[in-house]
Structure 1
């Protein structure tokens, strides 16, 4: 074990990914109490501003409104509430531990992100380093991907894309207020133009966005460039780049076996064979379930589906399911009516069987559709899959 590893093991300093910060967990409600509103005629300020510790700056996520803090001198970023004295003391104590290690970081354009716990004593601290030059995140020691919960790596290009995705996730959560990424924004506009033409001119486009989405994103990004500051621009870049990078990871972008068409299997994820129970139900239902399964598999290639294709299919299937339920209802009414109009035992048995079959088929079709629709919920706003 190296000196750095031994030092970090002795202290409760843990590596973390920006996407695993639990920022979307439920939060405890803050305390509130009656307050006196100061008159603007008698005072220059009607409200009391929260004073920040020396050297610290406060910013807010422009979309979610969550505050975060930066100390330019110490190169610290944190979402921990440093306006509370005990939290600030804990952040500073952890910085004293991590600063000598971070000083070994050969790249100078970086910030250290610290998230401290509320345990007794010093508690624990999760951290990662933001490398603005490489637009990646890093840590102070070599780590296996399994420790961080990352997937197995295919190549150095795959790893670079994963680290780049985490960088842009960080920029979405805590947009760097001191970095001017306008050149990246111009490059992103060009990328959106390419994706727009690709999805417009190709039925097998691997673009994560529809042509209309590309145009809307381009206009919104231009609006942010013309009217926003660094925080607004960098938030937009973080959100869009993370979606595009996720798509590139799934489609093996930059690798010799990259997915050139969304119907191409590159990860070896074939659709599972039909079970005997499914085949039996399919036979009883005139092969209709197998037909629908084939339609689902056609847009769920390599365990990857596109939102635009999924929405189109679910819309069509919803209409067809409605017609099927109406037909089942008509069959049930006809069976009930037939039972009341005839005294023949054989006809009554056939009518009862038909009614049971209609009810069972309707429930099975609805449950099958619900299950497969739930699988589509795994899709991200752009593209999703299991890699």
Structure 2
């Protein structure tokens, strides 16, 4: 959604000369919607002459100068940006070494400073402005380093700014704090210094996450115990280097991620999400449940297991990367096992090349079932092998794309269950083939005895999963 446009009203007399020199409109944006990672400009590299003694102390190149109070910085990722000190601090990624760009940015800053006065925002050293040129227009936002929040010069709403819906003012504050830390993450190399209190707090948060992940299978913390151990060690190493921009970047990145997770879990709200399998948002139930019942009978309940696992990893349309990796990993393992079982089943048809089958059509059916099980296993394995390492956001987008608004994951669960279901049907038909073969050569009595033995084995196996608790929790047990 395009950002709303701020058409600046006719300014008061003290700003008339500024407005006359400016063209275009101010557009409020957020720190997560800048074009920082969307720049498609190509680099023009060329052969350059290297003079004798270049870059020695006596022959250093003449530096490029900026205006008063302006400084150039390089982000740890390599992005060049510029900052201005003064009553209103300013940062921008516009290339200010270009005189025309520098003049344009300065005019927009002048204009915004006048607007700050018009809306009665007190300018202090804790307020920082970001500007981004967009053709004739200028995108902007401001942050307050004291309150750790992002703000704008006009009334707006979360939809216009491309932000998620919220349940309260306190949750909105978390969203704006996340945007603040993203800003600090993007501009960590100038005069900002994060307090020791913020470092200790984020260290404690990851220590809590480590303990929570180690003692709970349904923790809502977004990182695994192994990841938390690494993060805690990194944060502890930051204590002796708080004046370094790289340290600022580390702390800001982790704070933005924590605030993002807090927004998703409704941290501090009346109804917070306390476990991963807890749904606190309304979601319609799948229609036509009889379809799921029919699928369960046809697939020996395997389609319902896969459906439950998909819904468990997608509660309230949220995805945790480690749970997604577990889901895909276990599915791949099952499909590969089904492929091996199907190959063995096809090999078990070899005796029928020597011994004539009493019922050739039945033999054709079992062969087709094993071939289908093998083929579907290979296709699913090929399609999902690359998806095991998807990020949480990519996995969420994928599940959004395959979830039906009517049937949810009923048919996806059926597709996931096909290799095993076809394999089981293939072995049942193959068993019937062998029983008929035994009846042909050994008589009906032998067949009855074998049938009774098979029935007894099936009965014993079925009793192990007959308990209601087991039926209700088998899908969840496979996910942890």
TM-score by length of 1: 0.84
Residue number in structure 1 paired with 2:218: 204
Mapped pair 1:115 → 2:115: no
Q: Does structure 1 residue 315 correspond to structure 2 residue 329?
A: yes
Q: Could you tell me which residue of structure 2 aligns to residue 12 of structure 1? A: 25
Compared with structure 1, are the counterparts of its residues 319 and 13 closer, same or farther at alpha carbon in structure 2 (3 Å cutoff)?
Answer: same
Q: How far apart are residue 364 of structure 1 and its match?
A: 4.6
The Cα shift of 1:220 comes to: 0.9
Cα distance in 1, alignment partners of residues 356 and 9 from structure 2: 88
User: Is the CA contact (8 Å cut-off) linking 2:241 and 2:247 kept in structure 1?
Assistant: no
Q: Is the 8 A contact 1:112 1:129 kept in 2?
A: yes
Distance (Å, rounded) in 1 between the aligned partners of 2:200 and 2:64: 37
* Alignment partner, residue 316 of structure 2: 302
Query: Which residue of 1 is the match for residue 95 of structure 2?
Result: 81
Greater shift after overlay, 267-276 or 92-101? 267-276
Match of 1:170 in 2: 183
Q: Which residue of 2 aligns with 1:91?
A: 105
Q: Which moved more, 1:274-283 or 1:134-143?
A: 274-283
How far apart, in 2, do the equivalents of 1:278 and 1:298 lie? Answer: 17
1:351 equivalent in alignment to 2:367: no
1:105 to 121, 133, 137: 121
What is the 5 A alignment of 1:138-287? 138-175=151-188, 177-181=190-194, 182-227=196-241, 229-269=243-283, 272=286, 282-287=296-301
Residue by residue over 1:46-77, the C-alpha shift from the partner in whole angstroms, topping out at 9 and shown as x without a partner, is 66365131232111221x21111101125211
C-alpha distance in 1, partners of 2:75/2:221? 28
Moved more, 337-346 or 185-194: 337-346
Distance in 2 (alpha carbons) for counterparts of 1:279 and 1:368: 23
Name 2:84's counterpart in structure 1.
71
Q: Tell which deviates more after alignment, 132-141 or 40-49.
A: 40-49
Kept in 1: contact 2:132–2:138 (CA 8 A) = yes
User: 1:255–1:42: structure 2 CA closer, same or farther, 3 Å change rule?
Assistant: closer
Distance in 2, Cα, partners of 1:132 & 1:91: 22
1:360 counterpart = 2:377:
no
Measured against aligned partners, the alpha-carbon deviations of 1:159-212 in whole angstroms (never above 9, x if no partner) come to 111111111111112226212213211211122222222222233322222222
* Partner Cα separation in structure 2 for residue 220 and residue 243 of structure 1: 15
Assess if the C-alpha contact under 8 Å between 1:115 and 1:127 holds in 2: yes
Which of 51, 61, 69 does residue 75 from structure 2 map onto?
A: 61
- C-alpha distance after superposition, 1:334-386 (max 9, x if no partner): 55x47755666941x33333333334345555666757995994615999999
Deviation digits for residues 18-56 of structure 1, max 9, x if unmatched? 111132225322212221223338953666365131232
Contact conserved, 1:4 with 1:141, CA < 8 A, in 2?
Answer: no
Query: Unaligned 5+ residue runs, structure 2?
Result: 1-5, 12-18, 401-480
Question: 1:262–1:362: structure 2 CA closer, same or farther, 3 Å change rule?
Answer: same
Number of aligned residue pairs: 377
2: CA distance, partners of 1:283 / 1:367? 24
Paired residue for 1:34?
A: 47
- The structure-2 alpha-carbon separation of the partners of 1:226 and 1:5, relative to structure 1 and needing over 3 Å to count, comes to same
- Name the TM-score, length of structure 2 as normaliser: 0.69
User: For the residues of structure 2 that align with 1:274 and 1:90, how far apart are their CA atoms?
Assistant: 61
> For residues 272 and 7 of structure 1, what CA distance do their matches in structure 2 show?
55
Task: Please report how far the alpha carbon of residue 218 of structure 1 lies from its aligned counterpart in structure 2 after TM superposition.
Answer: 1.5
Instruction: State which drifts further: 315-324 or 226-235.
Output: 226-235
Q: Is the CA contact 1:81–1:88 (under 8 Å) kept in the aligned structure 2?
A: yes
Shift of 1:304: 2.4
Q: Which residue of 1 aligns with 2:451?
A: none
Q: Corresponding residue for 1:290?
A: 304
TM-aligned CA deviation for residue 328 of structure 1: 2.3
Question: SS of the counterpart of 1:350?
Answer: helix
**Structure 1 residues 357 and 102: alpha-carbon distance in aligned structure 2, compared to 1, 3 A threshold:** farther
- Residues 342 and 115 from structure 1, CA distance in 2 versus in 1: closer, same or farther, beyond 3 angstroms? farther
The answer on whether the counterparts of 1:195 and 1:209 sit within 8 Å (CA) in structure 2 is yes
SS at the partner of 2:252? helix
